Chains A and B, each alone.
Chain A
């Protein structure tokens, strides 16, 4: 059995779906953050996979590099927010926040 690029793409799409479900269903801020990481990682898999098909340049792998760097920045900011949020709520659950709902 030969592996084709399409297997990687399908895997990437499924992982993206898993991340999106986690993001929408879970109410724990930290786990939602991890779900976003899952989504970003699935995109990385797609990019690396597509680069294998278009191997004349490294566009996809460079993009992946960029995404990893930015994911690090985003995670750092998200975790700082998590700590700030925890100070008020003593919890990381995002649906406890109803101050802003009218």
Chain B
């Protein structure tokens, strides 16, 4: 494998994206932006999947790349994950922008380049690229949230997101600086080597670790660092909300898994009772509680998704915490979960887009009343998405939760207790997910309430919804191939 193939998913987004930027400058009429952007994501997705099946061998890649960006199956799997989330959101974004008269060409480029940032973030093998990827991704998303600048709500959400995001970035950076100081190199592998040789300054290392993980916790919106999420999710346009959960959150988790795998797995810091797993487990429990209880009283589906995103961050952190017990299986479980989460939330968002029409979005639970009867074809994917977020068989979410919770239960001790809490809280989550489904199928609009009028059919939106539904169901009834890929990726990651 040479330099070109090692970075092909990233190259294809960067090169085609920049090319499209030039084309845009000369375009006289509206191009089919959603199709063009979607195809770029599609190319990246194919490149990543192709690389997953090819023999991955980093030996032919020049050192100036492998020093900064990892080249292994875990890297390609995270590329595929991000490209998939980007693909569905980009396809759904175009129809939304057109329908509501919000078309801004910048949006597509910001989607492309912040997904690129996510890929860099998830692949980072060095503290420098970790920070660059984080900022590339975040800056794009802040701008995406603020893009609807005629809406006070959007700008306000963006301001809150920006402030907390840059605060989190600064904390992560401070932790990185301490880690660098402890070992004298910014390379994660180098720091790990120094750690194994007991050649690190212990106090700097521990303090740096805590702050680095704290910064990442802000990014994945784990409680108690989640306060920005509901406002930012609600303020953003619907496709951007989808991007934030399908791409930003998953990229941040992929990066977290990589940092843990490279720096800590197998060291004394990963001892279950004393070190990081306990810290992560605590964050997981808090996030599950705050997310699920917070979601119970939300009427707005975007806010509901924000809180449910906090809850999912909790489940995922539980899986991440359990990595100490059985690194390969549990990292693979987290990867699988990320795929089901990305597909599920992208599907929910695409369906939500299809429910709204010109100038009127249907974003409250009550708005959906009666849609199941009037538009069964549109309501069904939404219901599938909700069942997947809930983790109900036979959807992908079920297997994601099964794998992660089983891994945590097998880790034993406190983690078995946490897995039990996660199951109980998942039952609680049924209340708010099923409330949406009930509203779709068993409610009629109340007297005087406006009915949601779905937008006219649109090829690329149908494609997005179809793709999402197919994936969610496929991951639920035929999980073996992705489980296989995920464990290969985990092996490469830990290799």
Contacts and interface: CB of A to CB of B under 8 A. Distances in A.
Given A39-B170, A47-B177, A85 B155 contact: yes
A70 interface: yes
Nearest to B298: A102
Contacts of B159: 29, 81, 85, 94, 97
A102 B295 CA distance: 13
Interface string A4-45: 000001001000100110010000010010001001101100
A60 B152 CA distance: 41
Contacts of A87: 149, 155
A36 B162 CA distance: 11
B462 interface: no
A43 B155 contact: no
A3 interface: no
B185 interface: yes
B44 to A, nearest CB: 23
A81 B131 contact: no
Given A60-B180, A70-B132, A100-B153, A43 B186 contact: no
Interface of B is mostly: helix
B234 interface: yes
Interface in B217-235: 230-231, 234-235
B212 to A, nearest CB: 12
A70 B135 contact: yes
B156 interface: yes
Nearest to A88: B152
Given A39-B170, A63-B186, A100-B157, A78 B177 contact: no
Contact of B127 (A63, A78, A100): A63
Interface in B165-185: 166-167, 169-170, 173-174, 176-178, 180-181, 184-185
Contacts of B131: 63, 66-67, 70
Interface residues of B, number: 40
Contacts of A84: 146, 149, 155, 158
B177 A100 contact: no
Chain A residues touching B, range: 35 or more
Given A100-B156, A100-B234, A39 B174 contact: yes
B351 to A, nearest CB: 24
A50 B181 contact: yes
Contacts of B128: 62-63, 66
Contacts of A57: 184-185
A74 to B, nearest CB: 6
B49 interface: no
Which are the 3 A-B pairs with shortest beta-carbon distances? A54-B184, A50-B181, A39-B170
8 contacts: A9-B181, A19-B170, A32-B163, A59-B180, A63-B176, A70-B132, A81-B158, A97-B156
Given A39-B174, A74-B135, 14 more contacts: A23-B163, A23-B167, A42-B174, A43-B176, A47-B177, A53-B181, A59-B180, A81-B159, A81-B162, A84-B146, A87-B149, A88-B152, A94-B163, A99-B156
